[in-house]
Amino acid sequence: MKRIYAMKAWIFGGLFLLLLLGSCSGSQNLQEYYVDNSENPNFISLDVPASILKLEEANLDASQQEALHSLHKLNILAFKKTEANAQLYQEETAKVKAILKAPQFKELIQLNTKYGKGVVKYLGSEDAIDEVVIYGHNKDNGFAVIRVLGKNMNPAHFVQLLQAIDQADFKGSGLGELSGMLKG
């Protein structure tokens, strides 16, 4: 009788272990990456409301205004590259690129500017984006990952809004340091 209970205990323990291991994914998601690095001294981490962009004052057309009102907040994580952390920069960019290769991220646009290269990806449907991820990197200065959280963002309007943001002046808004870091 004890043997049967011992066997059941082993079976139950084995099933529990399988369930536990099965629920743990070996890959890190973007939210976990943000949390894991928010206190890292190599990173700048900001969680800001979309209103900090102060685009209400800008001359936005109707579609840009619609895109602006669909935004709720931005999660910004930026890695400032130095000579001392050059190897870590390589490792961290590889991690971010691996996360963004996940099938749930759909590419919206490739970026290639005088400040660096990047990509804009999104989560959700083509008609209603719930999260946009902007990843930009500059081999000399570092990289930034910006999660734009909103509700039912329209991809076409969002691209136009990105153009308006590119022309915006962030002095005094709290994003000046980040903007300066990426521009060099």
pLDDT 10s digits, 138-163: 989 999 999 988 777 777 666 666 66
Domain spans in the chain, listed from the N-terminal domain onward: 30-183
**How open is the CA angle 30-171-131, to the nearest 5 degrees?**
25
What's this model's pTM, rounded to 2 decimal places? 0.71
pLDDT 10s digits, 79-114: 999 999 999 999 999 999 999 999 999 998 898 888
CA distance 72 to 74: 7
Mean pLDDT of 125-144: 88
pLDDT value of residue 165:
64
Q: Among 168, 162, 158, which Cα is nearest to 63's?
A: 158
CA distance 19 to 100: 27
The strands making up 116-124's β-sheet, listed across from edge to edge, are 43-49, 71-80, 142-153, 129-138, 116-124, 106-113
